[in-house]
Structures are given as structure tokens and as C-alpha cells.
């Protein structure tokens, strides 16, 4: 039996509203939630592909462990035991900083991304943490620190008073553009000047 579920897309910081169609426990369709207060029905191609992603035959649905050179399906308990057995000799030989933690999307947009990494880092005693932000977010922090004296003061463009705007790799009129004010805010209208957004 088919049912509908309202969810928040975890794939980026825009957190668009999703309306998912679920058949027998599998997502078979995704569209934007028109009643979502922020995204108002907009979703990007990644969000629209949730159905295909969920049913992809190559999607991992259980842990895999290497056994005699071959990968085989395993329980979560077996997988965690294999990780612990593999990490221990590395830490003993090279020290705790030889082991790192890498977080990617959508993990960093979930509660798991906030709760588990500090515990794991403390347990390992390592300071080696890498995230998707290392690639796509850190340049914003560096430039904000250099321009404004505060790495966390990432400014939102004042589009209403902008005469000329050049955007590369972004769509300022997307309802969830992370480079512009939200469309529901007073500043969320189209700029009165000229905007150029070249397509790659």
C-alpha cells in the first residue's frame, strides 16, 4: 500500500521540504512540499532523485567486511568489531593522530553528525577530523576572516542594494539559495541591478 510522508531533505543546508511516496517500505517518488515554510515546493535534482537513490540496486543496505580478500555481508556488530580490530594496531604503532574521522553530506546535516563524532574523537584521542566543509565551506570562513575579522561572520549579500552581481555556480533566485536571503524575507526579492549567473 502506498503512503505519503513529509520529510526534510538532509542533502544540504537548505533543508528543503520533501513529500515522499513510500511503497512497501521503499521510497518510490519525491517532490517538493508546497506547504514547507522555507522551500515552498522547490527541490533540487538531488532531492527529486530520492526514489531512484532508495531503489538503486548498488545501494549498500548492510555492512560489508573483508573476509579472505572478499567482501561479504555482515551484521553491524561484526562490522564494529572489524573496525575496532583494524584501528587498534594502527593506533598502537603510529599513535592516535594516525586515525582520522571523515564526515560527509548528508551526515553533517543530521543529529548523528552532531552527536557521534565528538564521542568517537574523544575515544580515539585524535584531533584528525575532516568534513565536506573542508572542501566547500572553509574558503568562506577564510575569506570572511580576512575581510571582516571574523571567520564565522559569513555575510549574506544585500541583493536589494546591489548594482551588479556575478555569481558562479549558484542560482540566486532558487527559493533555497544559500548565497542569498530567503525569499520569505523582505530582502528576498530580485536585485534591482544586473545579475549574471553563467552556466558551466
With a cut of 50, say whether residue 81 has pLDDT above it: yes
pLDDT score for 113: 74
- Domains, the chain, in order of start with CATH, read 2-55 (3.30.200.210), 63-94 (no CATH), 95-154 (no CATH), 156-200 (no CATH)
Averaged pLDDT for residues 40-67: 90
Closest among 84, 63, 141, 134 to 104, alpha carbons compared: 134
pLDDT score for 182: 46
Burial classification of residue 75, based on how many CB atoms lie within 10 Å of its CB (0-12 exposed, 13-18 middle, 19 or more buried) = exposed
With a cut of 50, say whether residue 187 has pLDDT above it: no
What's the distance, Cα to Cα, between the start and end of the chain in Å?
Answer: 42
With a cut of 90, say whether residue 36 has pLDDT above it: yes
pTM for this one? 0.59
pLDDT score for 161: 79
Least confident of 10-24, 114-128, 135-149, 170-184: 170-184
Note the pLDDT tens digit of each residue in 100-121.
988 877 776 677 777 888 898 9
Amino acid at each position: 500500500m502506498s503512503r505519503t510522508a513529509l520529510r526534510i531533505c538532509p542533502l544540504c543546508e537548505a533543508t528543503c521540504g520533501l513529500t515522499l511516496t513510500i511503497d512497501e517500505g521503499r521510497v518510490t517518488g519525491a517532490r517538493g512540499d508546497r506547504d514547507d515554510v522555507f522551500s515552498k515546493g522547490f527541490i533540487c535534482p538531488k532531492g527529486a532523485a530520492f526514489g531512484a537513490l532508495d531503489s538503486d540496486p548498488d545501494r549498500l543496505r548492510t555492512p560489508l567486511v573483508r573476509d579472505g580478500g572478499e567482501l561479504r555481508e555482515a551484521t553491524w556488530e561484526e562490522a564494529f568489531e572489524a573496525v575496532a580490530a583494524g584501528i587498534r594496531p594502527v593506533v598502537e604503532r603510529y599513535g592516535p593522530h594516525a586515525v582520522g574521522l571523515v564526515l560527509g553530506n548528508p551526515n553533517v546535516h543530521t543529529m548523528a553528525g552532531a552527536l557521534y563524532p565528538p564521542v568517537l574523537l574523544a575515544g580515539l584521542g585524535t584531533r584528525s577530523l575532516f568534513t565536506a566543509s573542508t572542501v566547500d565551506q572553509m574558503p568562506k570562513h577564510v575569506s570572511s576572516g580576512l575581510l571582516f575579522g571574523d571567520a564565522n561572520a559569513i555575510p549574506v549579500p544585500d541583493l536589494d542594494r546591489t548594482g551588479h552581481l556575478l555569481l558562479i555556480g549558484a542560482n540566486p533566485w532558487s527559493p533555497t539559495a544559500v548565497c542569498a536571503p530567503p525569499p520569505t524575507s523582505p530582502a528576498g526579492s530580485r536585485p534591482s541591478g544586473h545579475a549574471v549567473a553563467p552556466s558551466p
